[in-house]
Structure 1
Amino acid sequence: MRIGYPFLLLSLVLAPALAAAQDRYADLEACELSAAGGRITASARCGTLTVAENPAAPEGRQLELAYAVVPARANRATPDPVLFLAGGPGQSARDILPIMRHALREINAQRDLIFLDQRGTGGSNALECEMEEQDEAWLDANYDQMAEQLDRCRAGWDADLRFYTTSDAARDLESLRAHYGFEQVNLIGGSYGTRLAQVYLRAYPDRVRSVILDGVVPTRLHLGAEHGLMLDRALGKLFAACTGEPQCRDTFPELDDAFADLKARFPDTDDGPDILVTHPRRGQAIDLQFTRATLAAALRFLAYSPQTQMMIPYLVHEAAATGDPTRLASQALIVTDQMADMIAIGLNFAVGCSEDWPGWPDVPGQEDTLLGNSMKEVYDQVCADWPRGELPPDFHQPFDADAPVLILSGELDPVTPPAYGDEAEAQFSKSLHLVARGRGHIVITQDCVGQIASRFIADADFDALDTDCLDRLGPEPFFIDLLGPAP
């Protein structure tokens, strides 16, 4: 099913938004989408949007952008749907529809939920690169090998990489809005999706009724430039929380010292010890060289989720006490195995090489962090000859908007911490920043936060929000042994 660029006549603009679901989306087909390895499924209606790859050449290469809609349960939906914008960059919005449909179920009672795969992801000309042992590669710091494999993939992509930026993605969102004739939309962005939400808000302010930014990327931030500092901050808060909890403190005494010993034990070079790790899905033994970069990558990915965060004290203590990081690497491989299939790595670099790397700042103290300058090193390697898109001159300049902006942060987020939320709250005059205590990256999936988000979108106002449930949020219990969390 194809939708061309010509838009509906003004006399028809409001009709689709006010019609019953079967009429609003009669041009879409019923589909079943899955997430979490097929364990979570959801029914939706799916279709494609046809757009020009290069907006200045409308008759040139065309892209089929896949999207899915979960119609409102009410027969006649409120005429301003919710557009969910996925993270990464490189994540498919449709891939996480089953998870977000549950989190946004109260919103979905009256409003349609729309999930458009950003160009370069999912079903929208995905810039995927099947790397050798790609899930292990997330724990490996072989930047030369990564760059070589990406070069091979680039040669096979049917894409002009200059037109896979956030600004291009915002233009695609506007095309979809215009096709259905929605006067306004509500935006929910998670992680990198918060950048896309802000770019759309700047470009089309009159089309936005409300915005939710979950794990916000500040406008001025060159994404990745501060990852080392933010990871160290999250680990420090996590270790302090363990020290403040008697059973965790007694089981893992002097955790800061154990962590320091662990960092000192593994070199920055390629001279780390070889360990055998069992692949969580394939069941085969993997020979992995464990270096300082491997340690950093392992802890970084484990720090995203509040569940895996609570394993970190146990894993750090064991690795420091025994000198054997095998279990730490094994647990990290479970996470990276799940991530490897979620991110279109070509889109990740198409965005990063155009929007972040050219102006990458020198961040004081970054070289002394666990991650060090590894993020810059990988982007230096990949972006040196990457075709870059044109960046608007005000792209990283803060701006204000009339639409109300609800900002959500997790207290222990290792990549977009509450300080970024404070920064966004200061930028937007109509904004409110809420912090979920003890939570990690992306918090709207918590029932409490999802209820707050639903109320906010219903009223597009902060005055009626009941945020008392946030006081009852907290961290997951720490793992004290292999049996799991303390009872």
Structure 2
Amino acid sequence: MPRKIRILLALLLVAGMFGYRYWRDQRAGPADRPAASVAAEATKAPAIATPPPPRMFGRIAFRPCTLAAQFGPASVEAQCGTFSVPEDPARPDGRKLALNLAWVPAAADAEVAADAVFMLAGGPGQSAVDTYPQVAPAFRDVLKHRNVFLLDQRGTGKSNPLKCKPEDDAFDGSDLAAVRAATERCRDTLSRHADLRFYTTTDAVRDLEAVRIALGVPQLDLVGISYGTRVAQQYAMRHPASTRAIVLDSVAPNSLILGNDFAGNLERALDLQFARCEESVACTSAVGHPRAQLDALMATLRADPPLVRYRDAATGASREERLQPDAVAGLMRMYAYMPLVSSLLPLQLGEAAHGRYDGLMALSRMLGSSLGDQMAMGMQLSVICSEDASGFQADPDAEGTLLGNQFSEFLGAQCALWPKGAMPADFHQPLASTVPALVLEGEFDPVTPPRYGEDVVKTLPNARLLVLRGQGHNVIGAGCMPKLFAQFLQTADAKALDGKCLDTLGYVPPFVSFNGWEP
């Protein structure tokens, strides 16, 4: 969603809130009340409200808060608090981090289970507290029996966030020297208030266990989404007795080196998604053949990027820029995460085939601005450079693909400049455990494809893999999945789930015009 629209929505929500309060307070207006009462209220000194005492859960104090959605009007009423941990575990008297924590209490009349649910956000670099409202509907049945907690992993959200300057676009460019310079600026700025070696997955696991102990919860149910599945697997490895069950949505296996497979995974996902158009005469007649058009477009952009006039979605201003191949590759990758959104791509590729590039340019610029708002890039580098950089490899088969080997090349250059933390020797070993596990994958996922889930369940005898038809990345909210998810947390038995309700999931038809898909 464009930043301008997000701001307008926020203003409308604020206006609505104050409008309602004004209406409520004025229903019995001065004309309906005794004159003496009105005069007394006019001269009454405003009362100083005494804040209510904090609500304790274990040793952690919480106060009421509202978790606002990043996109759209949804919000969640919760309890918020902080928990202090040393930045460097070897220096308990050194710098402290106030970890941001939210608690969504179980239903008031619920028989609450002793274990607690923790949602672990993706990225690396996303805030669990900030992203929860978007997936909150998937937890509705879970809250009938369990408390849900959201911990901003150190370096994200409000837990000493490691964010690089949003105006520094060099991270998104194709100039390696500019990326190095931006990385150095970010490193030097963040190092003033953070030791960048201590913002890894291993540090996050240590924090999570400390929070569990402080809450007085005997065991955790971990719900990892994307990168959060790495945190969940590492926690289950290090603290098996404290782990009751795990849900791995769009799983990244422990053995995975982030970045190495990105190019191949994207090509596979795009081929699957574009096949929906190829199988439809109405689609190919209206917009052409998307895969061939994408290949031709990339060849054109690499040879001579066209100058494109478009309207900036954030400002509404008319702008001119050259459409670069990296911008289109990034757009294809991020839109492929959500088939509902990627259904726009065949139409836009058809437009580009006729020399109309403004749609692709506007979508690309809008995407870049929204991603920058969500991701703590410094924390992401601390994780990847500590845990994956030593395994970066160029893939000869990736040459000529949309992404090529740019991820490993650019991340390698950044990691050469970034401080690195320690990693356990068995960090990249598969999780081999009897822990009950529900593993979820989307058929069209461009970053964590179903084969990752197949690999993970091989060493988890009490696991079950569900591949959701026609879905992309982060599938816990699709169809009847929230019901199955809640049933699993109730029984801790994934194999007993009746997944037939997932058969009703369908495919999103590709757009054949700006009015939508075919009737």
Cα shift at 1:149: 2.7
The alignment status of 1:56 with 2:95, answered yes or no, reads no
Amino acid at match of 2:395: V
The alignment status of 1:410 with 2:445, answered yes or no, reads no
Query: Which of the residues 276, 279, 286 maps onto 1:241?
Result: 276
Cα shift at 1:23: 5.4
The alignment status of 1:441 with 2:476, answered yes or no, reads no
The alignment status of 1:348 with 2:376, answered yes or no, reads no
Cα shift at 1:71: 0.6
Query: Which of the residues 397, 407, 430 maps onto 1:398?
Result: 430
Task: Return the alpha-carbon distance in structure 2 between the equivalents of residues 219 and 147 of structure 1.
Answer: 28
Judge which range, 283-292 or 73-82, deviates more.
283-292
Task: Return the alpha-carbon distance in structure 2 between the equivalents of residues 470 and 334 of structure 1.
Answer: 33
* SS at structure 1 position matched to 2:98: strand
The alignment status of 1:176 with 2:211, answered yes or no, reads yes
Aligned to 2:159: 124
* SS at structure 2 position matched to 1:36: coil
Aligned to 1:296: 329
* SS at structure 1 position matched to 2:480: helix
Cα shift at 1:287: 3.9
Aligned to 1:274: 307
* SS at structure 1 position matched to 2:282: helix
Task: Return the alpha-carbon distance in structure 2 between the equivalents of residues 358 and 96 of structure 1.
Answer: 30
Task: Return the alpha-carbon distance in structure 1 between the equivalents of residues 74 and 176 of structure 2.
Answer: 35
- State whether residues 239 and 255 of structure 1, in contact with CA within 8 Å, keep that contact through their aligned partners in structure 2: yes
- State whether residues 276 and 509 of structure 2, in contact with CA within 8 Å, keep that contact through their aligned partners in structure 1: no
Q: How does 1:1-150 map to 2 (within 5 A)?
A: 24=57, 27-37=61-71, 39-73=73-107, 74-132=109-167, 134=169, 140-150=173-183
Query: Which of the residues 397, 402, 407 maps onto 1:365?
Result: 397
Cα shift at 1:143: 3.9
Task: Return the alpha-carbon distance in structure 2 between the equivalents of residues 139 and 331 of structure 1.
Answer: 15
Amino acid at match of 2:73: R
Cα shift at 1:276: 3.2
Aligned to 2:344: 311
Distance 1:48 1:143, change over 3 A: farther
When normalised by structure 2's length, the TM-score is 0.85
Judge which range, 290-299 or 347-356, deviates more.
290-299
Amino acid at match of 1:355: E
Judge which range, 152-161 or 218-227, deviates more.
152-161
| 1:301-333 deviation line (CA, Å, top 9, x unaligned) | 1111122111111111221x2234321121233
Distance 1:257 1:75, change over 3 A: closer
- State whether residues 70 and 130 of structure 2, in contact with CA within 8 Å, keep that contact through their aligned partners in structure 1: no
- State whether residues 138 and 336 of structure 1, in contact with CA within 8 Å, keep that contact through their aligned partners in structure 2: no
The alignment status of 1:213 with 2:245, answered yes or no, reads no
Amino acid at match of 1:281: A
- State whether residues 110 and 144 of structure 2, in contact with CA within 8 Å, keep that contact through their aligned partners in structure 1: no
| 1:20-76 deviation line (CA, Å, top 9, x unaligned) | x95537820100111134522111100011001011111111101101010100454
Cα shift at 1:391: 1.5
Task: Return the alpha-carbon distance in structure 1 between the equivalents of residues 198 and 318 of structure 2.
Answer: 41
Aligned to 2:9: none
Cα shift at 1:215: 0.6
Q: Which has the larger radius of gyration?
A: 2
Amino acid at match of 2:195: D
Aligned to 2:509: 477
Amino acid at match of 2:451: A
Cα shift at 1:441: 0.7
Query: Which of the residues 182, 186, 195 maps onto 1:153?
Result: 186
The alignment status of 1:222 with 2:257, answered yes or no, reads yes
Task: Return the alpha-carbon distance in structure 2 between the equivalents of residues 410 and 364 of structure 1.
Answer: 27
Aligned to 2:229: 194
Aligned to 2:10: none
Amino acid at match of 1:438: G
Distance 1:99 1:257, change over 3 A: closer
Cα shift at 1:104: 0.8
Judge which range, 304-313 or 251-260, deviates more.
251-260
* SS at structure 1 position matched to 2:61: coil
- State whether residues 173 and 179 of structure 2, in contact with CA within 8 Å, keep that contact through their aligned partners in structure 1: no
Distance 1:140 1:279, change over 3 A: farther
* SS at structure 2 position matched to 1:341: helix
Identity value in percent: 39
Cα shift at 1:286: 4.1
The alignment status of 1:455 with 2:487, answered yes or no, reads yes
The alignment status of 1:283 with 2:330, answered yes or no, reads no
Task: Return the alpha-carbon distance in structure 1 between the equivalents of residues 383 and 246 of structure 2.
Answer: 22
Judge which range, 204-213 or 391-400, deviates more.
391-400
- State whether residues 404 and 430 of structure 1, in contact with CA within 8 Å, keep that contact through their aligned partners in structure 2: yes
Task: Return the alpha-carbon distance in structure 2 between the equivalents of residues 401 and 350 of structure 1.
Answer: 28
Paired positions, count:
462
Aligned to 2:291: 256
Amino acid at match of 1:70: V
Judge which range, 330-339 or 349-358, deviates more.
330-339
* SS at structure 2 position matched to 1:365: helix
Distance 1:159 1:100, change over 3 A: same
Task: Return the alpha-carbon distance in structure 1 between the equivalents of residues 70 and 515 of structure 2.
Answer: 23
Task: Return the alpha-carbon distance in structure 1 between the equivalents of residues 324 and 393 of structure 2.
Answer: 26
Cα shift at 1:485: 2.8
Judge which range, 222-231 or 442-451, deviates more.
442-451
Cα shift at 1:266: 1.6
* SS at structure 2 position matched to 1:28: strand
- State whether residues 131 and 149 of structure 1, in contact with CA within 8 Å, keep that contact through their aligned partners in structure 2: no
- State whether residues 84 and 187 of structure 1, in contact with CA within 8 Å, keep that contact through their aligned partners in structure 2: yes
Cα shift at 1:353: 0.9
Task: Return the alpha-carbon distance in structure 1 between the equivalents of residues 146 and 396 of structure 2.
Answer: 45
Unpaired stretches in structure 1, ≥5 consecutive residues: 1-20
- State whether residues 462 and 494 of structure 2, in contact with CA within 8 Å, keep that contact through their aligned partners in structure 1: no
| 1:336-358 deviation line (CA, Å, top 9, x unaligned) | 33221110010111111111112
Distance 1:200 1:246, change over 3 A: same
Distance 1:129 1:389, change over 3 A: same
Distance 1:302 1:138, change over 3 A: farther
Task: Return the alpha-carbon distance in structure 1 between the equivalents of residues 293 and 147 of structure 2.
Answer: 50
* SS at structure 1 position matched to 2:374: coil
* SS at structure 2 position matched to 1:132: coil
